[in-house]
Amino acid sequence: MGENNKRRLSDNGHQRSKKHQSSSSPSSARTPTRSTSISHPRFNNPSPEPSRSKTPHFVSYLDFPNLPFKIKLLCEIIANASSIDLEIVLEETGVQVSREDVEDVLKLSYKFPGSSMKFFRWSGRKLNDQHSPYAWNLIVDILGKNLHFEPMWDAMKSMKNEGLISLATFASVFSSYIVANRVKDAIMSFEVMDRYGCPRDVVALNSLLSAICRDGNTKDADEFLQIAKGKIRPDPDSYAIVLEGWESEGNIVCARQTFVEMIEQIGWDPTNTPAYNSFLCVLLKDPNGLHEALMSFKRLKDKMCYPGFKFFKLALDECAKNRDVKAGKYLWNEIVESINFQPDTHMYNSMIVLCCHQNDADAARRVLDEMISYGTFPNLETYNLLFRYLLKEKKLREASSIFDEMIKNEFVPSHANCKAAVRIYIENEDPNGAIKVWKCMVKIYESDLEEIANFLIVGLQDQKRLPEAVKYANEMIDRGIILKHSTLSKLKQSLFVVRKEFMYDELMMKLKFTER
């Protein structure tokens, strides 16, 4: 069971290569004629031409300074030559192009749909009209992402005649319409797939649902799923995609409804990890969602179904945030003992926080030691949160041990932790600890040192460590750290008492010299 569950918890999400083909980035014109096989009034009418609400970011050849000379030259021509002269300029270069060259140039020419289309035609003549299917898909995507839908469908017709249309082609069309806020047209494109020789099956349905949900329109995806399932039986991925959409949008109510429907339609499936993961994760977004998520997790476990890594990570975060030690220990036991899964550093950090909330420093230290023994290494957050807790509880010996280990492993305490440590060590009559932290602090930080520097000098004086007080006062002046009048006054009094007035005079001379 352990190995299987490790595989479940890998958190790979949907293996979308088969569910939908993602396009690279996609509106005025003709829309496909609607099929009547899957229809509903809500989706029957073509979308009006929208104002463009999103400005896509297209990758440019300028983003890649080390392109091969030929690819860069062709991209520059597409970007800079006038549309009228483009083919003449291309011809004058004398370059020969391969199918791969065409693909590489098109991928970097999304900003210039008209010129890209002319380049595509010109290069087609050079290749005896033997463009690769990928190049055809790229030109469809370029046109769609630039909202040139009529030329896009013209290209699709040419592809149909060549037998080149695939699900990847329609995935690009779906994406182009969705990012243009034309969900209805994306759905109508799905309805005419079979006319273009592409099966309108559950894999295609999932590709459409994914495109809609990815753009934050899960309600539309769910509504169409309710219509489409009369003709196409949804599979686990169909529901997983919609649940992931509800998770992204934080819609707990709809996620519950979709989950219930999924169980009714396809039952419990141990391989449907993405769906379970999204469902439990969205439950956590409710202010009191941890309890419901854990109850649902127990129900899943009874069916031998498990969520992915993301849920356990977020759930432990919630336990730490809510100081729910009992729930945290339950989850930890499930992760480590029942499921036999190796937690990552973030999850170990959450458990250390829970141990700290329970005022159990020994348990927190054991978690730190355990993570190292299992090959999961502490990070900056691990050390800082444990160091902060030990300081707060005034467990100074343990804090010093963590500090030493932290420095040895080349991690630096936070500025706030350094300030707190110097103060707490001084207040608890451990000047050596304060000095050690101060020496580390001034190596790392160059600002916001004045307050704690003055506190250290006064503290060293009060604890009969006058030589160190003078030494560090000198160093502070050298570093440009301002010593308060009250600090210098106390230092003066202490030095005069032990007849070391000359030390104070030297200090003042250095101070006056540095102020010039």
Q: pLDDT digits over 93-137, tens only?
A: 999 999 999 999 999 999 999 999 999 999 999 999 999 999 999
CB count, 10 Å around CB of 141?
26
Query: Contact at 8 Å (CB) between 315 and 284?
Result: yes
Q: pLDDT digits over 188-245, tens only?
A: 999 999 999 999 999 999 999 999 999 999 999 999 999 999 999 999 999 999 999 9
Per-residue confidence at 412, pLDDT binned at 50, 70, 90?
Answer: very high
User: Does the residue 329 lie in any domain?
Assistant: no
Range of the domain at 295: 201-307
Q: Return mean pLDDT, the chain.
A: 89
pLDDT for 26: 35
Tell me the Ramachandran region of residue 48: left when phi exceeds 0, alpha when psi lies from -120 to 50, beta otherwise.
beta
Burial class (CB in 10 A: 0-12, 13-18, 19+), 132: middle
Distance CA(181)–CA(175), nearest Å, equals: 10
Residue 414's alpha-carbon distances to 74, 282, 357, 385, in angstroms, are 51, 33, 20, 10
User: Does the residue 106 lie in any domain?
Assistant: no
Query: Contact at 8 Å (CB) between 447 and 481?
Result: no
Q: In this model, does residue 9 exceed pLDDT 50? A: no
Instruction: Pull the structure tokens for residue 63.
Output: 């983003």
Q: The whole model's pTM is what?
A: 0.81
Structurally, the chain folds into a number of domains equal to 1
pLDDT for 24: 38
Per-residue confidence at 512, pLDDT binned at 50, 70, 90?
Answer: confident
pLDDT for 511: 79
Radius of gyration in angstroms for the set of CA atoms belonging to the chain, rounded to a whole number: 33
pLDDT for 333: 93
pLDDT for 151: 97
User: Does the residue 129 lie in any domain?
Assistant: no
User: Does the residue 208 lie in any domain?
Assistant: yes
User: Does the residue 263 lie in any domain?
Assistant: yes
CB count, 10 Å around CB of 285?
17
Q: pLDDT digits over 39-93, tens only?
A: 444 444 444 344 444 667 899 999 999 999 999 999 999 999 998 999 999 999 9
Per-residue confidence at 19, pLDDT binned at 50, 70, 90?
Answer: very low
Instruction: Pull the structure tokens for residue 292.
Output: 């419901």
User: Does the residue 450 lie in any domain?
Assistant: no
For residue 413, the 8-state DSSP code is -
Distance CA(265)–CA(243), nearest Å, equals: 15
Burial class (CB in 10 A: 0-12, 13-18, 19+), 157: exposed
User: Does the residue 275 lie in any domain?
Assistant: yes
Q: pLDDT digits over 151-197, tens only?
A: 999 999 999 999 999 999 999 999 999 999 999 999 999 999 999 99
